[in-house]
Structure 1
């Protein structure tokens, strides 16, 4: 995937159409919201869910997806309130290593940054471990002293398909920073107007748009995994 492909999602856009737009930018046919955990080729993938600071509550879309996707792995941190890069990144790496199939990372907030750090540490160790990533509302660790241990954020292109979905009014990360992440990582960038931090507090429980984007990503992932 080449970087900084932009999709702007209007609030009235059906999730199905949003998924089509994201996938067609990359010349791919999207997998639509009925997706249940297999790539378009039929090859199995393992979904690893990476929550951010303070974890994701039971009604959060990450928690709901963890229940819906067979075999999904969820990263657990020893300390959700006082995050530190080394243990957080190690937990992501452990989940990736435990997955039986190539992984699609589904990360939110600070979990996105921990995931990118994990990718950097795994980059030279073994190829093909990660097939794709959906990064939602990535945090800007420079905006909060509590997150400063996660700086600097890696800026190398990711060796797999990825989507960054971010809100125009996220209190944890300006939209321009999320766009810069997408450009440096080589991700498709999905701009969602006025969606806050895309969590329970901003009214995003089941979040059908995100589910559709995950399905679209699954159409891209197998190609990237085979090429690794």
Structure 2
């Protein structure tokens, strides 16, 4: 990333990220990537996830970037807009927000509560929203509106589903390059 050590906080979504998921693969490739462990990956409560993220940022001994997927993206947006202190926000260099799900969509997990309405305020750190043109959990118009409101760069990677293990991305080098640009801005 840059000359300064950065912690990469990996924020999976509903049901966690399994073995073939790019988040899990990134963790295996680099010890700077640390998963934020939620107490329950199947019954998601916004308040608990945001407080867990807050504790992870507080525990970081150097600046952080987020590598978020799905509900991890919404957790990041809620944390930044409603939970984080100015001191906590100052520790964040940026966020890669991949496959933002739409809480009003028909495929949104029924065991996830408190994620609507999505905060549409500018994020106080650099961010990139990555979307797939055929994501069943969040369409292009939804991800574009989030990116616009959050002040994020928006990238469409074409038809890749929910940008998860089933998307065939392997180590997803392109995503890591985008993440690295966020760390360089600090």
Tell me if TM exceeds 0.5. Answer: yes
Q: Which has the larger radius of gyration?
A: 1
**1:59-98 map, 5 Å:** 59-98=20-59
Count residues in correspondence. 182
- CA, structure 1 residues 127+87, in 2 after alignment: closer, same or farther (shift >3 Å)? closer
What is the match of residue 77 of structure 2?
A: 116
What is the match of residue 150 of structure 1?
A: 115
What is the match of residue 50 of structure 1?
A: 11
- CA, structure 1 residues 58+151, in 2 after alignment: closer, same or farther (shift >3 Å)? same
| Conserved 8 A contact 2:80-2:89 | no
| Conserved 8 A contact 2:11-2:66 | yes
Unaligned runs of 5+ in 2: none
The CA RMSD measured in Å over matched residues stands at 1.5
| Conserved 8 A contact 2:64-2:92 | yes
Deviates more, 1:187-196 or 1:125-134: 125-134
- CA, structure 1 residues 179+123, in 2 after alignment: closer, same or farther (shift >3 Å)? farther
| Conserved 8 A contact 1:74-1:95 | no
1:141 is paired with a residue of what secondary structure? coil
**1:178-217 map, 5 Å:** 178-217=143-182
- CA, structure 1 residues 126+217, in 2 after alignment: closer, same or farther (shift >3 Å)? closer
- CA, structure 1 residues 212+147, in 2 after alignment: closer, same or farther (shift >3 Å)? same
2:183 is paired with a residue of what secondary structure? helix
What is the match of residue 95 of structure 2?
A: 133
CA shift digits 1:151-198 (9 cap, x unpaired): 111111111111000001000001110011100000000111101111
Deviates more, 1:53-62 or 1:139-148: 139-148
Tell me the TM-score normalised to structure 1 length. Answer: 0.75
Tell me the TM-score normalised to structure 2 length. Answer: 0.91
> Deviating runs (4+, > 3 A) in structure 1?
123-127, 145-148
Greater relative contact order (CA < 8 Å, ≥ 6 in sequence)? 1
Deviation at 1:70, TM superposition (A): 2.6
- CA, structure 1 residues 167+127, in 2 after alignment: closer, same or farther (shift >3 Å)? closer
Unaligned runs of 5+ in 1: 1-37, 223-228
> Does residue 1:171 correspond to 2:128, yes or no?
no
